[in-house]
Each structure stands twice: as C-alpha cells, then as structure tokens.
A and B are shown apart, each in its own frame.
Chain A
Amino acid sequence: MEEFVKPVIQVKSLDLSYDDYVVMRNLNFSVNKGEIFIVMGVSGCGKSTLLKALIGLKQPQAGEVLYNGVSFWAQDEITQQKIMRGFGVLYQGGALWSSFTLGENVALPLQLCSNLSASQIREIVELKLALVGLRGQVDFYPEQISGGMRKRAALARAIALDPEVIFFDEPSAGLDPLSSRMLDDLILQLRNTLKATIVVVSHELASIFAVGDKAAFLDTESKSMVTIGAPKELLANSKDSRVIQFLTRGVNKERG
C-alpha cells in the first residue's frame, strides 16, 4: 500500500567527509512533501556540508540521497542537472551575481530553464521581487542594497522557477530581528501557497521554533544525528542533554 504522505527527500546512511576528515557519519532522515525541515546544530558541526550534499554540490563519501525515490548521486550528470533545476537555494550570503541587476538575477533561471518570451519573463521577475517586498527595485545592483534586501532578492531568485524543494542556508545570519522574522514569514508563506518542501539549515532558535515542522540535531562530538522531531516537542520531551542545552541556550543542562 502506498503511503499517504510521500517523502520528497530521503537520506540513507549518508557519510560526509573532506578527504580523510570525517564530518558526519550515518545520517538517516526523510522530508515529506510540504514539510519545513530544520537541520540544527552548533557552528561547525557540518550543517552546511550536509546542505551541499543535499543540493548536489558535494558528493558524499557513502550513502544515498533520494529525490522522489531517485538516487541523486547514482545518476549521470545530465539527469543530476535536471534534478537540480527542481531546487531553489538561498545561500548564506545571498550569492547574487554581482555583475547582474536584481532583475537579471531573477531572470536568469527563467531564461535558462523556460521558453518564455522576454516580456513574460519581465512580468514574472517583477512578481517574484514584489513577493519578497522588493517591488520596483528591478534595476538595482546587489552592491546598492542592504544585506537584508540582498537576501530577499536571493530568495526571489530561488523561487523564480517555483521549485519543488527550497533550501535555506542560515537564512537569519547577519539579519536584524525584524528582517529575520520577515524571512521566517516568507518561508511559511512559500510552504502554504506554493506547497514547496523546505529544508532550513539554522542555529537561530527563534526561527527554528517559528517555522520548523521537524528538526534534526547534528552533534559535533559523535559526528552524527542525535535526534529528530518537532522543535517544540523536542524542547518539552527530549532526554538528550545536548539537544536541551542547544534549545535552551545552555540554561537547562540536564533533565531527569
């Protein structure tokens, strides 16, 4: 019998390493359609490395990443590129192409992956920028706008093709509380309106509790995933002192 909710992403016994330096061992989890999945952990625990393996930029040492049942790293390059076009990625620093205007940044994915006419593309670009609150700023260059605006523009680019899966790398890093909150709201809206599946790498507690349906905790010492569950439930019920310390900023060290 087919399951009611299908997993969009499945990670099976994934090992990550840089040459002989092991980052994470034996990761297993799955993300269902329309879910907001958080990967959390202290700085340097391997969150961003895991993200790179998920978006197809870093080949894992062992294990599998499956998208809709297709094992990504077992495919040839052309199929991998096709799968990658179904992703939207918001990089930590935005990673907007600095020689392009905001409009050109958002337009490029559309020019590359669709057959739309220039005027249709222009309309979509304006819509996407308006969705992230950057209406009328099509002709600005990334260097002319603030860090928060740059992130929002990068989000507009990430959602240009209405991707099935959107990845966020530290969305609130370097943002003030209000901009960070605004980005959280955008993440929720994207899930609710576009029905996108969302993976967020974060260590920002406020964001984790605000948007996360499910969260996984990566531990540096054991180089593995310690726990997985809804953030609020983890806070209430987890027996693992590392998770509790993380979720309470180290205030509650032990729980009986």
Chain B
Amino acid sequence: MPAEKIVLDYSKAKTLCIRLNGDWLITTGIPKVNEVIERITQPKDIQQLAFDTSGIGKWDSGLVAFLFHLIRECEHKHIGVDFQGLPSGAQKLLALALKINEKAPTERRQDNSFFIRVADKALKLTDNILSLLNFLGEIAVAFGRLIMGRVYFRWDEFMVILQHCGADALVLVSLISVLVGIILAFIGASQLKLFGAQIYIANIVGIGMVRVMGAMMAAILISGRTGASFAAELGLMQTNEEIDALQTLGVSPVEFLVIPRILALVIMMPLLTLYADLMGILGGFIMSITLLGLNPVEYWQHTLSSVTLSNLWVGLIHSFVFGIIIAVAGCFHGMQCRRSASAVGEATTAGVVSAIISIVIATAVITFVCQVLGV
C-alpha cells in the first residue's frame, strides 16, 4: 500500500522529508508517482525535498524510476532535492539518468490534429501519384532505349524471371482454374435445371472462363505470387544498397531491374491465361459429365460453338493489361521502399493490394468498353 511505503514528514519548516519503507521492486509493484506529487505540493511553502530510506528493504530500478519521475516534477515546480538520504547505488543511477539534458523538441513539428493529418494524407497521395507518373515515364524512356538496343539486357537473368513467372506458377494456376470451372458449372446447373437447359452450362463455363474469369483468376494468383516477390525483391535490394551500387555504375535501375520483369509478365500473363481458360473448361467438363450426367460430345460441341474468337481476344487483352499492372505495381512499390525490414513488408503488401484493386478497376473499364463497342 502506498500509505505504508511512503510517509511524508512535514516537521521541518519549508522542507518535506519523504520516508520510504518496505520493498521497492518492479515485480512487487511501485506506488504511482502522481498521487505523491499531489500530496507534496499541497502545502505551498515547501522548497526542499529530502529522503529518509532507513526503513527501506530490497529495491531495484523501480525505485529509481519512481524517484526520477518525482525529481523531474520537483525541478518543474522549482523545489530543491537533497539526495543524501537515498541508498548510494540509487544516488549513482539517478546522477547518471539526470546527467543528460533533455533535448528541446527537434525542428520537426508534431501536430496530430485531425486537419493536419488529413492534409498530410492528401499531400502524400499527391506525392505518390507524382512519383508513379515519374516511374511510368522512366519505364517509357527505358523501353525506348531497349528498342534502340541501348540497354544492357541480361538474357540469362531474364529467362530465370520468365520461368519464375510462368512455369513455376502452373500447378497453382491449374488447381485454382479447375476449381473455378467446377464452381461456375455448379452455379449454372442449379439455375438452368429449372428450365431443363443444363447443356448451356457449357456456354456459361466456356464464355465465362475465356472472356474474363481465366484472366482474372490467373492475375490475382500472379499478383499474390509474382507481384509480391517483385516488390519484396526490389525492396530488399533497396534496403541492402544494391540499387545504389547499380546507380553508381551509371546504370538505371529501371532499365536493369524493372524492364525485364515487366517484359516477363507481359509475355507470361497471356500464356498463363490461355492455360487457365483450358483448365477452367476442363473443370466444368468434369463436373458436368460426372455429377450432372451431361453428354460429353454434346458438351464439347456446345463449348466450341459458344466460345468465339472475339471472346478469346477480350480475355487476352485483359491478361496483357493485368500483366503490366502487376509488374508495375510490384516494381514501383519495391523501388519506393524505405530502408528497413518493416518497410519491405509494407512494400510487398502495397504492391499486392494496389495490383488487385487496379485489376478489378481495369476489368470494369474493359468490360464497359467492350459493351459499348458491342464486342
């Protein structure tokens, strides 16, 4: 109890003697310093604080922390403190803690009011948009230089990236696409059954997968897989000063690191999408034949007649745009990464999240444009 641990002795004029009793250990609890301060300052004429620790038991840095706080409060209130009565170890620790002057607040302002935060966010957003535009400009210039053959292009490195983006993702794409095909078939079946038109499942699965679902599912998978790895890889290179080392060689990191990654995804996304389309149709086919009892030949013919070349083109345009979006989002956030481990995590998250949001927006735009054009 605080009352037992701290006894205030007002017997001397203008001096308050604080008597500390019992154990003062972090593990057993320390009295709250604010309560003591209130009691100290009640008589207005106190000018000096003294301590009597003859009754103190075991103590650790909990005591020192309590005294440190108390003494700083006394300094604020212009009350002198006499350290003599304290245990000598505590005196030394306090001397050490009080030796370093508290620095005046630095030149950076710390205003957390609502409007300041809103303004800060808005400014940051403008900064981000500007740096994204800048980044896109750099990419355009780098592509120009690539076409003119003025970029140092490492083919072996490019092949490794291609393999990582494409072949290594096949298992995952197969699994997800087959399942999406099955889901589409299931949803279609439950409704079409009402009209006895189950065979049109083939149309739903075929057109749905080829026109948008194949590209979109592949893109979401690749943004979580490859986009994240681009952001983390470039972010870590930024943290390790590897990108600085490139710049001092007079090499543009965009040319050296970003261009091969964008190219790789732009090549691989349409291929992965075609593969995802086939796997999705296969999933719907298996589902329809086994569980819904449809005729395989009829199903196959319905698929062939419903999926037109224009559907395929729309799907491929989707995948091409998604490839650019994923690569640019991953690389942009990786290149913007600050130099710490947590920043790499943030860059990766930002890369994936912004890619997925952009993918959905791009899908909406492309769908709308196709609708207007009647494709």
Interface-centre pick from B106, B236, B241, B249 (highest chain A CB count, 10 A)? B249
What is the minimal beta-carbon distance from A10 to any residue of chain B, in angstroms?
A: 20
Known: A21-B107, A93-B241, A111-B152. A99 touches B247 (CB 8 A): no
What is the minimal beta-carbon distance from B144 to any residue of chain A, in angstroms?
A: 15
What is the minimal beta-carbon distance from A128 to any residue of chain B, in angstroms?
A: 15
Option from B107, B241, B251 in Cβ contact (under 8 Å) with A20: B107
Q: Which residues of B contact A91 (CB under 8 A)?
A: 241, 244-245
Q: A89, B251: Cβ atoms under 8 Å?
A: no
Asked if A108 is an interface residue, CB under 8 A from chain B, the answer is yes
Known: A20-B107, A22-B107. A108 touches B240 (CB 8 A): no
Option from A85, A92, A97 in Cβ contact (under 8 Å) with B242: A97
Q: Which residues of A contact B236 (CB under 8 A)?
A: 98
Q: How far is the CA of A21 from the CA of B107 in the complex (A)?
A: 7
Q: A95, B241: Cβ atoms under 8 Å?
A: yes
Q: How far is the CA of A144 from the CA of B248 in the complex (A)?
A: 25
Q: A95, B157: Cβ atoms under 8 Å?
A: no
**For residue A81, which residue of chain B has the nearest CB?**
B250
Q: How large is the interface on B (under 10, 10 to 19, 20 to 34, 35 or more residues)?
A: 10 to 19
Asked if A37 is an interface residue, CB under 8 A from chain B, the answer is no
Asked if A168 is an interface residue, CB under 8 A from chain B, the answer is no
Q: A109, B244: Cβ atoms under 8 Å?
A: no
- Interface membership of chain A positions 99-130, coded 1 if the CB is closer than 8 angstroms to chain B and 0 otherwise: 10000000011011100000000000000000
Q: How far is the CA of A57 from the CA of B243 in the complex (A)?
A: 11
**For residue A58, which residue of chain B has the nearest CB?**
B244
Q: A21, B108: Cβ atoms under 8 Å?
A: yes
Q: B152, A57: Cβ atoms under 8 Å?
A: no
Q: B107, A112: Cβ atoms under 8 Å?
A: no
What is the minimal beta-carbon distance from B366 to any residue of chain A, in angstroms?
A: 35
What is the minimal beta-carbon distance from A93 to any residue of chain B, in angstroms?
A: 6
> Tally of A-B residue pairs with Cβ under 8 A?
57
Q: B250, A89: Cβ atoms under 8 Å?
A: no
A 112-153 contacts with B by CB, 8 A = 112-113
Q: How far is the CA of A109 from the CA of B242 in the complex (A)?
A: 13
B 122-164 contacts with A by CB, 8 A = 152, 157
What is the minimal beta-carbon distance from A142 to any residue of chain B, in angstroms?
A: 9
Q: B240, A89: Cβ atoms under 8 Å?
A: no
Q: Which residues of A contact B237 (CB under 8 A)?
A: 97-98
Q: How far is the CA of A81 from the CA of B250 in the complex (A)?
A: 5
Q: B245, A89: Cβ atoms under 8 Å?
A: yes
Q: Which residues of B contact A93 (CB under 8 A)?
A: 240-241
Q: How far is the CA of A219 from the CA of B107 in the complex (A)?
A: 17
Asked if A84 is an interface residue, CB under 8 A from chain B, the answer is yes
**For residue A83, which residue of chain B has the nearest CB?**
B250
Q: How far is the CA of A52 from the CA of B247 in the complex (A)?
A: 11
Q: B107, A113: Cβ atoms under 8 Å?
A: no
Q: B107, A109: Cβ atoms under 8 Å?
A: no
Asked if A7 is an interface residue, CB under 8 A from chain B, the answer is no
Q: How far is the CA of A30 from the CA of B249 in the complex (A)?
A: 23
**For residue A92, which residue of chain B has the nearest CB?**
B241
Q: A55, B249: Cβ atoms under 8 Å?
A: no
Q: Which residues of B contact A95 (CB under 8 A)?
A: 240-242, 244-245
Asked if A87 is an interface residue, CB under 8 A from chain B, the answer is yes
Option from A96, A98, A108 in Cβ contact (under 8 Å) with B249: A108
Option from A81, A84, A98 in Cβ contact (under 8 Å) with B240: A98
Known: A95-B242, A97-B242, A111-B152. A85 touches B157 (CB 8 A): no
Interface-centre pick from A52, A97, A111 (highest chain B CB count, 10 A)? A97
Known: A96-B242, A112-B152. A56 touches B108 (CB 8 A): no
**For residue A99, which residue of chain B has the nearest CB?**
B157
Q: A109, B241: Cβ atoms under 8 Å?
A: no
Q: B108, A112: Cβ atoms under 8 Å?
A: no
Q: A82, B242: Cβ atoms under 8 Å?
A: no
Q: How far is the CA of A157 from the CA of B237 in the complex (A)?
A: 17
Q: A85, B249: Cβ atoms under 8 Å?
A: yes
Q: How far is the CA of A84 from the CA of B157 in the complex (A)?
A: 25
Q: How far is the CA of A82 from the CA of B240 in the complex (A)?
A: 24
What is the minimal beta-carbon distance from B157 to any residue of chain A, in angstroms?
A: 7
Q: How far is the CA of A87 from the CA of B249 in the complex (A)?
A: 8
B 187-237 contacts with A by CB, 8 A = 236-237
Q: Which residues of A contact B250 (CB under 8 A)?
A: 81-82, 84-85, 112-113
What is the minimal beta-carbon distance from A148 to any residue of chain B, in angstroms?
A: 17
**For residue A55, which residue of chain B has the nearest CB?**
B248
Q: How far is the CA of A114 from the CA of B217 in the complex (A)?
A: 46
Q: A97, B248: Cβ atoms under 8 Å?
A: no
**13 A-B pairs (CB sep. < 8 Å):** A20-B108, A21-B107, A57-B244, A82-B250, A85-B250, A89-B245, A91-B241, A96-B242, A96-B245, A98-B236, A108-B249, A112-B250, A157-B245
Contacts A89-B244, A112-B250 known; 4 new A-B pairs at CB < 8 A: A85-B249, A91-B245, A95-B242, A96-B245
